[in-house]
A and B are shown apart, each in its own frame.
Chain A
Amino acid sequence: MSTATAWASAAPGLDGTPRVNDFAFKIGTVNGTGSASANSLIMHTIFRMGIPVTGKNVFPSNIQGLPTWYEIRVSRDGYTARTPVFDLVVPMNPATYARDIAEVRPGGWVLYDSTWPLDRSLLRDDVTFLGVPMGRMCNENFEGDRARTLMKNIVYTGALAALLDMDLSILNGILEEKFARKQALLEANFKAVRLGYDYVREHFDCPLPIRLEKMDATRGYVLMDGNTAAALGCVYAGATVGAWYPITPATSLMDAFQQFCERFRVDPETKQRKFVIVQAEDELAAAGIVVGASWMGARAFTPTSGPGLSLMNEFIGLAYYAEVPAVIIDVQRAGPSTGMPTRTQQGDLLLAAYASHGDTKHIVLFPADPEECFYFAVKAFDLAERFQTPVFVLSDLDIGMNDWLTPRLRWDDAYRPDRGKVLDADALERIQKFHRYLDVDGDGIAARTLPGVHPKGAYFTRGSGHNKYGAYTEDPAEYMEVMERLARKIKNAAAAVPEPEIRRTDGASLGIVTVGSGRAAVLEAMDRLRDEGIALDYMRVRGFPFGEAVAEFLAQHELNFVVEQNRDGQLRSLLLLETGVPAERLASVRYYGGFPLSAHHVIEGVLRQLGGVKA
């Protein structure tokens, strides 16, 4: 029996005792049928009831007609990781009825469209079937195929509202906000909600033992996805040039950047734009555009995912060697190659750390959630300019495209961009001669100049061998002198990247280490493991190159579980390579199937590693 099933059978509520604000349900639909807005309506209603809620969109790489699921987890304790155990399922897509119904935990519920009878083979005697004739209701109450299809989503929303005890006034309030200027649509939505709601109240005992109850745990939070947050970070950092090639799951980042720019960066009088977004011919060009704009002194970035990052390697090497800032936001998806474009993974860790041929090493930031996507995006520009080098923000599909319970983003108006060492016209006027790669301050960072500012600032930027004066060279000593300084520069960056997040537990002798979106599942797993008598100290790395705190933490624990979402243990490899920690101190816990990490993956992995110690 897997841990997941074990929990399910031990789940409270199975015996009929109520389970308030602690359950999960999923809705299976066909993509392109408008279920996204219904799911968002449910999410926001629960959120505004003050209850912590997370949604995971499990969708196909397809435009219309394939199965898609939306998983909603309600957790009064604030757990946000994906849970694979569903108390209730709403199968709206006949093509996945069998699979969806099979996924309900024993003792759970199935809310289905009873317009047509369910195939008897789908029935289970350990779950309760709640039939609502949604199709018939829509046919009787709405005109036209499109409206009937769309409104079916709102009918199941109404039914769920009754079953789970959603606050109808909040739900209707959201509809009013959304359709404030579309009265006819608003009326139709109200009607559809009512149809589902009333039918369920009339025919079944409401609410179910799994139900909602108002809390006050979402004050100070918003529901936001990481791509939106990262895009906002780029706007607030003052980025003016964005270049990209459309790619799932990074597309919505540039979409959001564009929307925010159109809102905040258009001159109200002239309607002229204070930004340029270039949809390039490919990711090679997107990276080149970022390099060109950054060379010119603008803050420029590109959002991408694995396949795009592969193409960008050439320019990443150039930017590293010629010392041009660049911000690359990699919203990771399942690789290798095209892989699974709509599934999440942390498969680009090693690629980002050492991208491009020759000796290179890069600054990488690892946000865990949308909040960090926002702040790390800003940080990335500061670091890129200060260290004159590419900086990666490694998000992933789970962070980037799902709505997370996120502390309200805040901004300090005192912030000013860190432009690094840039000589302006006055400074150039004062100096005898400018040499681009001369380490005047001894910190590995040479001052740069921007084109068009002053004749004395001119130099030839090149990816070919150069000496510290910026001149072409094939001389071993001259070449190595620059390469050694570059190594020193990036090494120094370890002190400037975000410190690891560390949480210590009383009596813990073992460590658990993770990165990025692994955070939510690992923290939840730690709570459960503690209940089983396993105490763990926790560290989440947030930047590369690793600072001293990372090596110290690893050294303090005889055994560290390294939890990550890829096949080969890329974070573990990086830690081995970069901290000198002995291999036997790092035990690998991996899940890389493409769904967001769940606590049970972590628990199972840790228990398996502990073997006889504690199982």
Chain B
Amino acid sequence: MTSIAKPAVRHPGLPTNKLGLTRRDYEGAMSTLCAGCGHDSITAAIVQAFFELDIEPHRAAKLSGIGCSSKTPAYFLGQSHGFNAVHGRMPAVATGANAANRSLVYIGVSGDGDSLSIGLGQMCHAIRRNLDICYIIENNGVYGLTKGQFSASADVGSKAKRGDVNELPPIDPVLLALTLGATFVARSFSGDKKHLVPILKAALTHKGFALVDVISPCVTFNDHEGSTKSYRYTRQHMEDLAPIDFVPVRREITADSEPGTVMAVTMHDGSVVRFRRVAEDYDPTDRDAAYAYVRRVLERGEVPTGLLYVQPDSRDMHAINRTVDRPLVELPYEELCPGAEALERLMEEYR
């Protein structure tokens, strides 16, 4: 969604997906963010990803915390239930929601303040539980709504709009997630939709916690010279692991134009992520290698992007809990209440 209101009339030539829905069916309310905000581009990528994955909009649940990023679920998937939680606490709400109904597609949108400061603990523990969610951090290194304070992801030496220079080391969500055992770790850039959409599609398909850190410049408070989270800086310093294609299940994999350089990872549902032009010795399912790679790139002062690590066969919260396949909310009460007779028998044990 952009900041420009669109006409209500639907163009008959709009492309439709397998459900017969157009992209417009995946959009939401008009954005109230600043014109040019990176977050709006991510919103557009989310719309695109859901559209292309043929997900029924009302079978998705979108959640967020508090902050500019957390406003965005209002701007996509207007036919999905949304939950704007309290600051930093979206992972808990998502955990409860997913516990109750495992059949929906969960997308969480957070920011660097929301996830790396006030909600750092919540994010870490959602990773630990391997909550089945596509968890996006719209990362701009700055607090926008409160007018420009550094966030925990600000790089050392990055300059604020008012001139002060950050001296505290950043918390890198990608390194953190790798350390904590996250089962899908990616980084992208809001200014590169072609890069972001396939990553989102893979993340939405992943069974488990899929962290997608998206550098998303704040045009008002952090897009100036000296900032390391500006459009310009990110474009110049993005070092991509490899472009990926997401091939959904049941679609034929067509011959590759560059044979020999493609690495394919099959996701839990049979869909395939294909890494193009990836270095031959890089294994995206090797956590230690991914960690070392990210460290190396960061040490060079570059921004490592791409789908950096994936463990496609991981056990999510429900697999670990051995929950019934049917969503708990769909279990009839009769199956949940042991009944009067059972209580009568039980009472015998307390005398």
A positions within 8 Å CB-CB of B: 44, 47-48, 218, 221-224, 228, 232, 235-236, 238, 240-241, 243, 260, 264-265, 267, 270-278, 280-282, 284-298, 300, 314-315, 318, 406, 408-413, 415-417, 449-455, 457-464, 472
> Shortest beta-carbon distance, B104 to chain A, in Å?
5
Cα–Cα distance between A408 and B343 once the two chains are bound (Å): 9
- Identify which of A285, A315, A409 gathers the most chain B CB atoms within 10 Å of its CB: A285
- A284 pairs with B92, CB closer than 8 A: yes
Binds A, one of B4-12, B149-157, B187-195, B319-327: B319-327
Cα–Cα distance between A533 and B63 once the two chains are bound (Å): 64
- B58 pairs with A288, CB closer than 8 A: no
- A289 pairs with B101, CB closer than 8 A: no
- Identify which of B122, B329, B340 gathers the most chain A CB atoms within 10 Å of its CB: B329
- B338 pairs with A235, CB closer than 8 A: yes
Contacts of B57 in A (CB 8 A): 455, 458
Contacts of A223 in B (CB 8 A): 350-351
Binds A, one of B71-79, B158-166, B226-234, B270-278: B71-79
> Shortest beta-carbon distance, A436 to chain B, in Å?
10
Query: Would you list the 4 A-B pairs with minimal beta carbon distance, nearest first?
Result: A288-B92, A292-B96, A298-B100, A451-B81
Given A415-B337, A458-B57, 16 more A-B residue pairs with CB atoms under 8 Å apart are: A235-B337, A235-B338, A236-B338, A240-B336, A264-B338, A274-B324, A278-B95, A292-B95, A295-B96, A295-B97, A296-B96, A297-B329, A315-B86, A451-B101, A461-B81, A462-B83
Cα–Cα distance between A265 and B331 once the two chains are bound (Å): 11
> Shortest beta-carbon distance, B204 to chain A, in Å?
16
In the assembled complex, B255 has its CB within 8 A of some CB on chain A: no
Cα–Cα distance between A241 and B98 once the two chains are bound (Å): 10
Contacts of A280 in B (CB 8 A): 92, 95, 125
- B336 pairs with A238, CB closer than 8 A: yes
Contacts of A265 in B (CB 8 A): 336
Cα–Cα distance between A286 and B92 once the two chains are bound (Å): 7
Report B297-333 CB contacts with A as 1/0, cut-off 8 Å.
Answer: 0000000000000000000011001111100110101
> Shortest beta-carbon distance, B128 to chain A, in Å?
8
> Shortest beta-carbon distance, A595 to chain B, in Å?
25
Contacts of A238 in B (CB 8 A): 333, 336-337
Main secondary structure of the interface of A (DSSP, over half): mixed
- B100 pairs with A240, CB closer than 8 A: yes
Contacts of A282 in B (CB 8 A): 121
- B343 pairs with A411, CB closer than 8 A: yes
Contacts of A277 in B (CB 8 A): 321
- A285 pairs with B122, CB closer than 8 A: yes
B84, B129, B342: which contacts A463 (Cβ < 8 A)? B84
Main secondary structure of the interface of B (DSSP, over half): helix
In the assembled complex, B339 has its CB within 8 A of some CB on chain A: yes
Cα–Cα distance between A417 and B332 once the two chains are bound (Å): 11
In the assembled complex, B80 has its CB within 8 A of some CB on chain A: yes
- B81 pairs with A452, CB closer than 8 A: yes
Cα–Cα distance between A391 and B56 once the two chains are bound (Å): 34
B96, B101, B125, B343: which contacts A281 (Cβ < 8 A)? B125
A276, A286, A290: which contacts B328 (Cβ < 8 A)? A276
- A264 pairs with B58, CB closer than 8 A: no
> Shortest beta-carbon distance, B31 to chain A, in Å?
13
- B122 pairs with A281, CB closer than 8 A: yes
Contacts of B73 in A (CB 8 A): 460
In the assembled complex, B85 has its CB within 8 A of some CB on chain A: yes
- A276 pairs with B93, CB closer than 8 A: no
Would A461 and B343 be within 8 Å (CB), given that A274-B324, A292-B96 are in contact? no
**CB-nearest residue of chain B to A378:** B337
In the assembled complex, B14 has its CB within 8 A of some CB on chain A: no
- A410 pairs with B343, CB closer than 8 A: yes
> Shortest beta-carbon distance, B142 to chain A, in Å?
21
Cα–Cα distance between A464 and B145 once the two chains are bound (Å): 14
A281, A318, A452: which contacts B86 (Cβ < 8 A)? A318
**CB-nearest residue of chain B to A237:** B337
> Shortest beta-carbon distance, B14 to chain A, in Å?
18
Contacts of B91 in A (CB 8 A): 285, 288
Would A288 and B100 be within 8 Å (CB), given that A298-B329, A452-B81, A461-B82 are in contact? no
- A463 pairs with B86, CB closer than 8 A: yes
B86, B323, B343: which contacts A409 (Cβ < 8 A)? B343
Total number of B residues with any Cβ neighbor in A under 8 Å: 60
- B58 pairs with A273, CB closer than 8 A: no
- Identify which of B80, B328, B335 gathers the most chain A CB atoms within 10 Å of its CB: B328
Interface residues of B in 97-115 (CB under 8 A from A): 97-101, 103-104
Contacts of A449 in B (CB 8 A): 81
Can you pick out 24 interface pairs between chain A and chain B where the beta carbons lie within 8 Å of each other?
Answer: A44-B351, A238-B337, A240-B336, A243-B95, A243-B96, A264-B342, A274-B336, A278-B95, A278-B129, A280-B92, A284-B89, A284-B92, A289-B96, A292-B92, A295-B83, A296-B61, A409-B343, A410-B344, A452-B103, A455-B79, A459-B82, A460-B84, A463-B84, A463-B85
B81, B92, B331, B343: which contacts A236 (Cβ < 8 A)? B343
Cα–Cα distance between A558 and B99 once the two chains are bound (Å): 53
Cα–Cα distance between A397 and B74 once the two chains are bound (Å): 44
In the assembled complex, B253 has its CB within 8 A of some CB on chain A: no
Would A288 and B331 be within 8 Å (CB), given that A47-B351, A222-B350, A460-B73 are in contact? no
**CB-nearest residue of chain A to B56:** A455
Contacts of A413 in B (CB 8 A): 339-340
In the assembled complex, B197 has its CB within 8 A of some CB on chain A: no
- Identify which of A314, A450, A460 gathers the most chain B CB atoms within 10 Å of its CB: A460
- B122 pairs with A291, CB closer than 8 A: no
B81, B99, B344: which contacts A293 (Cβ < 8 A)? B99
Would A458 and B84 be within 8 Å (CB), given that A235-B338, A267-B324 are in contact? no
**CB-nearest residue of chain B to A464:** B84
- A289 pairs with B323, CB closer than 8 A: no
Cα–Cα distance between A277 and B340 once the two chains are bound (Å): 24
Would A411 and B329 be within 8 Å (CB), given that A276-B321, A280-B125, A295-B96 are in contact? no
Cα–Cα distance between A501 and B79 once the two chains are bound (Å): 48
**CB-nearest residue of chain B to A415:** B337
- A296 pairs with B125, CB closer than 8 A: no
> Shortest beta-carbon distance, B98 to chain A, in Å?
8
Would A275 and B104 be within 8 Å (CB), given that A451-B61, A460-B73 are in contact? no
- A288 pairs with B339, CB closer than 8 A: no
Cα–Cα distance between A455 and B347 once the two chains are bound (Å): 46
- Identify which of A271, A274, A462 gathers the most chain B CB atoms within 10 Å of its CB: A462
Would A296 and B324 be within 8 Å (CB), given that A411-B343, A416-B333, A458-B79 are in contact? no
In the assembled complex, B296 has its CB within 8 A of some CB on chain A: no
**CB-nearest residue of chain B to A318:** B86
- A274 pairs with B331, CB closer than 8 A: yes
B74, B86, B96, B351: which contacts A241 (Cβ < 8 A)? B96
- A409 pairs with B347, CB closer than 8 A: yes
Contacts of B343 in A (CB 8 A): 232, 236, 409-411
- A240 pairs with B97, CB closer than 8 A: no
In the assembled complex, B94 has its CB within 8 A of some CB on chain A: yes
> Shortest beta-carbon distance, A365 to chain B, in Å?
20
Interface residues of B in 44-60 (CB under 8 A from A): 56-59
- A287 pairs with B92, CB closer than 8 A: yes
Cα–Cα distance between A316 and B62 once the two chains are bound (Å): 21
**CB-nearest residue of chain B to A241:** B99
Cα–Cα distance between A300 and B344 once the two chains are bound (Å): 25
Would A452 and B58 be within 8 Å (CB), given that A278-B129, A281-B121 are in contact? yes
Contacts of B89 in A (CB 8 A): 284-285, 288, 314-315
B58, B85, B103, B124: which contacts A318 (Cβ < 8 A)? B85
- B122 pairs with A297, CB closer than 8 A: no
Cα–Cα distance between A489 and B321 once the two chains are bound (Å): 38
**CB-nearest residue of chain B to A298:** B100
- B58 pairs with A291, CB closer than 8 A: no
Interface residues of B in 169-223 (CB under 8 A from A): none
Contacts of A293 in B (CB 8 A): 96-97, 99-100
